[in-house]
Structure 1
């Protein structure tokens, strides 16, 4: 009988198993899909590792420390440009003022957008240190990012909503102002110090975690149907015709799925109800960018030489994706990858079915943003997630202590949904937090 059963083989579940095993505690990890790693998914597209879920490893987080401990090579994300696609025109520039001047917007809207960018940059620098949120940012946890958009014209709001959703999944009303700095404003200021990418793909982190489990077991393709507390204080985990018992159980699945698995007290149900975990669809494209100069020139000296390889973060309101990210800008290899985050589209199950036509339709949408790459697409993949990212809402932040608190002292909760941040970096931190709590009970 395993000492701990972990339901969910994503970043949180694998991190918990890894830290438990290092303390001499074996676990059984049950994952319903045919692969471990959850949203840390990397596909090979034209021989390149393209991330179709989580993208970045944030600096000075448990995720970065874990990646380094596991020997995963990280490369810095060093953006030098910002882009906006609006009115069927894509403008990319190294200078935000020149970018706004070249947009097909009325003068009043340009002034409004420029003012917002200036205020956002000031707030960013006031609440960060070397790209990391400072202690001062805590004051913004209870404030919605929506408040910053009040009074703006519709065309400007459309751009900013797409930018915020592209960086964070959340609508402005669903995101705290503190994390709008990390997931949105950092792109505006071309932050060079807060993100990195795994050279061989984000999936290498969970792969390395799994590889180092010598005494624990990972079972894929097994869907847990019920978790029940027995009279002797142990937990019974049932699914796929199997029954397993353990003293401790870790629920490392998306928060919306938890109430259907186990009977919970009202205080825990109330806490879980504060969590929003919407779906998202991600398109990854690899293109030949040799001598492919972006056609829109902003007029700033040097921008006339910008190529598609120089793209970093392009905001795309009105498209099925909110933003296009080039995770390794200006790398000079002759190819570049563009990851299109369709948080506005949510979960599109047809996207996961080959031959549905969704992939081809989204590639056409991408080419409307990057017309100079027509005939240069070397490969593309698409993936849709039913539960993508637990939004960093003020409501979730207020309920965090109850979200994290175990039930009966032995039913634990770990995932991006229970983290102070979110995403895979939050999930890795939660895996360690829960493992540490279990280790304490073993004396």
Structure 2
């Protein structure tokens, strides 16, 4: 038994002071230090009088396969970035070997994230993910807009999906990812979603990330017109937006980006079990604009980093800071609390893993972060955690100190 005695406990729905937490693999009790030491006289006491204890994060949209990228890919605009992915994919993927993947996993955990949604295009990282200390919802991605290649692409998807099903455990779940409406033929998407329904898997899909996607899907025009003509000899989009969205009415979905979604599409998704995944840094670096959080209401949303193909970090503190400043019209203190609650409790709920809360019976998967010594107003704690935290000082996974 261990007892941790921080300055604050962030549950994350409320802030508790003069409160300690007793834990083993799970949280056993939350009470004053005096009461806990009386109940558990042999427990090891960890003093953390200048820190806050809060749950770890869930990052529901990551592409670990591209973790070798730092400056290979082109930022600034979506289409130049996409061309650079195609040009450099065959060199980037092998560069992210086992050590690269382990480094990315370690970077996630040491920055306070212990649960992720991993988007996998090829499956090379599957076993490393399944053996890691992370909780992982492993989204096997299907892509392919050319009907002639549909059978091959579907067979590859099925093979990866059922490989991941064999590895399922309490901390590793198999899911389905539909790349996007511009890159997945309607028939392929429909067949993959039948698999998701049969196995009750969560579905992830990139949707209306860029203005180019909007123009292509609506009018077969814009920058994608040359892209598809040049690379795939296609003159028309393979999906119409509303027909595509009707496919997702019977699945639990994570719709990623949604920056250029229109009101009709949002209304259609409101009739389904859909959460929006907001990636502000990725959207900024690829020149896609800012998600209008008011426009997507009443759809729920949460935050993710996306992968290192379109971000410089997998650190959720960085992502929350970006969101805090991008959405400048929201009240700073209130929005900071919302962001931390989304990134902890709600994101765990979205991915279907226990955690993200400091509560009796919950996994003792927690992080300790420094609190500014001169903090006066307790109601500003959430804001100052986001502003001042680069990395947590300690991360516990099911009661064990990570990296000890």
Where on the TM-score scale, by shorter chain, does this alignment land: which range? under 0.3
Higher relative contact order (CA 8 A, sep 6+): 1
Q: What is the TM-score when the length of structure 1 is the normalising length?
A: 0.23
Q: What is the TM-score when the length of structure 2 is the normalising length?
A: 0.24
